[in-house]
Amino acid sequence: MVRIAWMMKLKPGNEAIYKLKHDEIWPEMLAAMKRDGVRTFSIYRNGLDLFAYMERDSAPDPGTPISDLTWRWWEMMAPYMETNPDFSPVQRPVEEMFNFENR
């Protein structure tokens, strides 16, 4: 299992719509995450800063193209957050400094 975390940023005034979109996440997005081995995925907000945390069975293969479903989600979310020119979210990786598990 791998743990991955990154930061993103909302555009001002879009906190509520960002939350609503995730409250109403497309069922096919959830199915795709399960299919990709995602065990847990959380997004936390502090002001306009977003902190995303994911645990998955294995690291994503960098050679695998982004799915059309993901591109559609990103394009739909682009008005609400900082994105690259192709609508992918600007993601700033964060380094894990400590982990404790009692399983």
CA distance 97 to 53: 14
Q: pTM here?
A: 0.91
**What pLDDT, in 10s, does the model give residues 7-29?**
999 999 999 999 999 999 999 99
Tell me if residue 75 is catalytic: no
Please report the pLDDT score of residue 75 as a whole number.
97
Please report the pLDDT score of residue 103 as a whole number.
81
The answer on pLDDT for 43 being more than 90 is yes
Contact residues for 46 (Cβ-Cβ < 8 A; gap 6+): none
| 80: number of Cβ within 10 Å | 19
Q: Up-side HSE of residue 74: CA atoms within 13 Å toward CB?
A: 17
Under a CB-based contact definition with an 8 Å cutoff, are residues 21 and 77 in contact? yes
* Confidence tier at 47 by pLDDT (50, 70, 90): very high
Using only C-alpha atoms, the chain has a radius of gyration, in whole angstroms, of 14
Catalytic residue among 2, 20, 22, 94: 22
